[in-house]
Structure 1
Amino acid sequence: MSTPAARTVDTTRHPSWRRRRLDPDHSLGLRLTLAATAAFLVLVPFALLALLVLGAWAPLHRLDTAITDALHGHAVDHPAWVTLMQVWSAVFAPMPLRVVALLVVIWLLRRQARRLALWVTTTMVVGGLMGPLLKLLVGRDRPELLDPVARAAGYSFPSGHALNATLAAGVLLLVFLPYVGSWAARVTLWVAALLLTVVTGLSRVALGVHFASDVLGGWLLGVAVVAATTAAFTSWRAHTGLRPVRPARDGVAPEVERHPDAT
């Protein structure tokens, strides 16, 4: 018969699943727990939106149609507006943004910031793969307009432009925040990241190739991916003894700016 002391020893020797998930000494479990929690909190509204799209919820369909019709009417009457939106949509399309991310990865590798380069790569690749997969799963058709000002192939939900703009903006913001010192510079960087994300998404609705809910879905999914990978990366930092950071203020690896070989 086991004694209470023996049972205590056994409990210590074999900690519960919950303890292992939250124990800093079990770094992988802790990183996965934080990443899953961060992703879950943002994926909840995305999942709800996807279910409404799949179920063809009438109020959402009416709202999408009203926004599309209003913006399409404005586009038909203003060719210069269409040209501006087409240029913006082309410059900040998924492929050019991926090229920019690749250049950032190469730059980080040259600075010996291998783990930070891996974070950038993981964020862009995971998000980039999830978008097309979800498009196939949802299978939503694009808006059908009598006099379209632009065309796009493939399914509609979520918007790939909105998703990749969110991923790229998050990556660039969190990598380069440590390089701006003043409050004004930080605000400028945040505004630039928000403009990249918001205007790129809105350009797709303005051109009539996406519904507003497609763009909202792309934004939510992009934020979820960035939140999950950032949680995993900051958890690794804590485990290796680096000082805690607030990513929204300090970036994900502020030590790289001062010591290139720190990560």
Structure 2
Amino acid sequence: MLNTHHSRLHRFAAARFSPEGEFGLHLTVGVFMLLAAMAVFGRLAGAVVAGAPITQTDLEVANWLHQHARQGGLLRDFLLLVTHIHSTPGMLTLTAIAGIWLYKRGHRYWILALLASVPGGMLLNVGLKHTFERARPHFEEPILTLSTYSFPSGHAMASTVFYGLLACYAARYARGWWGRVLPFVLAGAMIFTVAFSRMYLGAHYLSDVLAAFAEGCGWLAICIPAAATLNRRRAARQRREEGSAPPQEISKEP
């Protein structure tokens, strides 16, 4: 009896770490990533609501950046361009372009992951903003004036899920370790630039963008494994149907 129970546990654990299984390694990694992201987001949200020391750091960083941003220059112009490109219309346009490209390559389940990640993540972010209702940074001479809430940053969240998903896609089909690492380095650089633009232009606090990054990672940990699981289950069902079909029917498949 003990040996049977041990054997079942061993099979269950092996299945959770199998790269080929329907509910294998991809889902296990996603669960761990989701739990970690939820823990980080929860700590940040709790600190903001309670007025913890990080909120004082938020004010100091925001004031320091605003003093430099008021001077104008090429950096401010560049970051204004970045922040406008990654606005809601800009992100939906980028998502549409990426979706068309994925469709032409025949990677349908990645399209599902893209649509769930970006538009779905943006809706999630709006819900969280209205849950916490944190006011945006306030300055006597603001660069950007926005009437929406601040926590968490929508720009930072949308860029995290968009570039994070593209990095996962590129790494999935890359050859060699460098080809798997470089997409995440580039995605991280883009996400940092977008997040920094929001702080530099006075639209968000530091904790806003950190929470958005955690939110985006957690949402990706749901969307990508879910789409991959659906795709693997569909492929497994097709294999079972082909295996149970009469030989003459199988031979007719293209």
What's the TM-score once normalised by structure 2's chain length?
0.75
- In 2, Cα distance between the equivalents of 1:30 and 1:190? 20
- In 2, Cα distance between the equivalents of 1:35 and 1:182? 23
Q: Which residue matches 2:35?
A: 40
Larger deviation: 39-48 or 183-192?
Answer: 183-192
Q: Which residue matches 1:114?
A: 108
Counterpart of 1:100, as a letter, is L
1:138–1:157 CA contact under 8 A, matched in 2: yes
For residue 67 of structure 2, the aligned residue among 73, 89, 112 is 73
Deviations 1:42-65 (A, max 9, x none): 1111011111112222x1121001
Counterpart of 1:190, as a letter, is F
SS at match of 1:77: coil
1:159–1:218 CA contact under 8 A, matched in 2: yes
- In 1, Cα distance between the equivalents of 2:84 and 2:109? 31
Q: Which residue matches 2:48?
A: 53
- In 1, Cα distance between the equivalents of 2:117 and 2:155? 15
- In 1, Cα distance between the equivalents of 2:109 and 2:62? 42
1:101–1:168 CA contact under 8 A, matched in 2: yes
Counterpart of 1:43, as a letter, is M
- In 2, Cα distance between the equivalents of 1:152 and 1:205? 13
- In 2, Cα distance between the equivalents of 1:168 and 1:80? 26
Q: Which residue matches 2:215?
A: 221
- Identity value in percent: 26
2:23–2:229 CA contact under 8 A, matched in 1: no
Deviations 1:173-197 (A, max 9, x none): 1223355546555554333211110
Instruction: After TM superposition, list the pairs within 5 Å mapping 1:243-262 onto structure 2.
Output: none
* Distance change >3 Å, CA 74–CA 93, structure 1 → 2: same
- In 2, Cα distance between the equivalents of 1:29 and 1:193? 26
SS at match of 2:106: coil
Counterpart of 1:212, as a letter, is L
Counterpart of 1:77, as a letter, is Q
Deviation at 1:29, TM superposition (A): 11
For residue 125 of structure 1, the aligned residue among 119, 123, 126 is 119
* Distance change >3 Å, CA 94–CA 182, structure 1 → 2: farther
Instruction: After TM superposition, list the pairs within 5 Å mapping 1:76-225 onto structure 2.
Output: 76-178=70-172, 180-181=174-175, 186-225=180-219
Deviation at 1:30, TM superposition (A): 10
Structure 2, unmatched stretches of 5+, are: 237-254
* Distance change >3 Å, CA 29–CA 129, structure 1 → 2: farther
- In 2, Cα distance between the equivalents of 1:124 and 1:222? 9
- In 2, Cα distance between the equivalents of 1:192 and 1:31? 22
Deviation at 1:222, TM superposition (A): 0.6
RMSD: 3.3
Larger deviation: 218-227 or 85-94?
Answer: 85-94
2:112–2:227 CA contact under 8 A, matched in 1: no
2:129–2:149 CA contact under 8 A, matched in 1: yes
- In 2, Cα distance between the equivalents of 1:153 and 1:204? 15
Deviation at 1:78, TM superposition (A): 3.5
Q: Which residue matches 1:261?
A: none
Matched residue pairs, number? Answer: 226
- In 2, Cα distance between the equivalents of 1:197 and 1:181? 24
Deviation at 1:126, TM superposition (A): 2.7
1:72–1:206 CA contact under 8 A, matched in 2: yes
Structure 1, unmatched stretches of 5+, are: 242-263
Counterpart of 1:170, as a letter, is G
Deviation at 1:31, TM superposition (A): 8.4
